[in-house]
């Protein structure tokens, strides 16, 4: 199996969730155990020697591979969620969407200064969500931040929003 085989399984949904958007649907990848194993092995091999102590999954599609990866890396799992979903005291970060803005949150006691963090989401588009997640993690002052997505939409240049002290990789580029 190669990453190109996985790419072929990603389904394009036209005009979802709104007109003009081509939604990259990964449910067609995740429904196949072999693809889950292939992707999680690939990410595990990439990060196994980095001393990751916490994997952060971004709501909600980042929870799937984020949780699998945390188990493989013997790291804890931390959710970054949309405003109002987390039960305990949280930090919040507002960021711009194409139209309007959104707020994400993380528990104040989720991380400490000794943590080495891997932030995971399924897809990088404009980069706003990942950049806001990095800012949230930086409030807590961890040792080092890595981040990755399975898919990157390169035409949107989301990478530009990721600060140079944060190492970013994506597995599949469009
Ligand atoms: P952005 O903040 O623009 O980088 O958007 C990234 C977030 O929105 C991720 O959590 C993705 O799951 C979701 N997303 C944005 N655009 C798409 C797309 N074309 N297909 C699938 N998910 C997308």
Q: Is residue 17 part of a domain?
A: no
Residue 93 has what pLDDT?
98
Residue 173 has what pLDDT?
98
139-169 pLDDT, tens digit each: 999 999 999 999 999 999 999 999 999 999 9
Mean pLDDT score of the chain, rounded to an integer?
Answer: 97
Q: Is residue 77 part of a domain?
A: yes
The reply to whether ligand 1 has any atom less than 6 angstroms from the CB of 124 is yes
Q: Is residue 66 part of a domain?
A: yes
Count up the domains in the chain and report the number.
1
Long-range (24+ apart) CB contacts under 8 A made by 107-110 are 107/78, 108/140, 110/54, 110/56, 110/78, 110/140
Boundaries of domain holding 76 = 49-173
Of these residues, 94, 98, 163, 167, which one is catalytic? 98
Q: Is residue 25 part of a domain?
A: no
* C-alpha distances in Å from residue 13, one per residue of 7, 112, 150, 156: 15, 40, 17, 18
Q: Would you say the pTM of this structure is higher than 0.85?
A: yes
pLDDT-derived band at 100 (thresholds 50, 70, 90) equals: confident
**Percent with pLDDT over 70 in the chain:** 100
Residue 98 has what pLDDT?
73
Which atom of ligand 1 is least distant from the CA of 128? 2
Q: Is 94 a catalytic residue?
A: no
The reply to whether ligand 1 has any atom less than 6 angstroms from the CB of 125 is yes
Residue 107 has pLDDT above 80, yes or no: yes
Q: Is residue 28 part of a domain?
A: no
Q: Is residue 41 part of a domain?
A: no
116-133 pLDDT, tens digit each: 999 999 999 999 999 999
76-94 mean pLDDT:
98
Residue 4 has what pLDDT?
98
Q: Is residue 7 part of a domain?
A: no
pLDDT-derived band at 99 (thresholds 50, 70, 90) equals: confident
**Which token pair is 95?**
């960021």
The C-alpha atoms of residue 50 and residue 5 are separated, in whole angstroms, by 27
CATH number of the domain bearing residue 169: 3.40.50.2020
Q: Is residue 153 part of a domain?
A: yes
């Amino acid at each position: 199996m190669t990453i190109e085989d996985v790419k072929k399984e990603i389904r394009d949904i036209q005009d979802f969730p709104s007109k003009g958007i081509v939604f990259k649907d990964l449910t067609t990848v995740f429904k196949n155990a072999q693809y889950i194993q292939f992707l999680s092995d690939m990410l595990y091999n990439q990060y196994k020697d980095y001393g990751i102590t916490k994997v952060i999954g971004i709501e909600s599609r980042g929870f799937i591979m984020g949780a699998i990866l945390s188990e493989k890396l013997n790291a804890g799992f931390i959710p970054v969620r949309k405003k109002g979903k987390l039960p305990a005291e949280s930090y919040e970060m507002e960021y711009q969407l194409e139209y309007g803005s959104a707020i994400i949150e993380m528990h104040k006691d989720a991380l400490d200064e000794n943590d080495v963090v891997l932030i995971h989401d399924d897809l990088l588009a404009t980069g706003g969500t990942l950049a806001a997640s990095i800012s949230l993690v930086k409030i807590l002052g961890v040792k080092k931040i890595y981040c990755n997505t399975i898919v990157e939409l390169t035409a949107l240049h989301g990478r530009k929003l990721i600060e140079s002290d944060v190492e970013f990789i994506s597995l599949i580029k469009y």
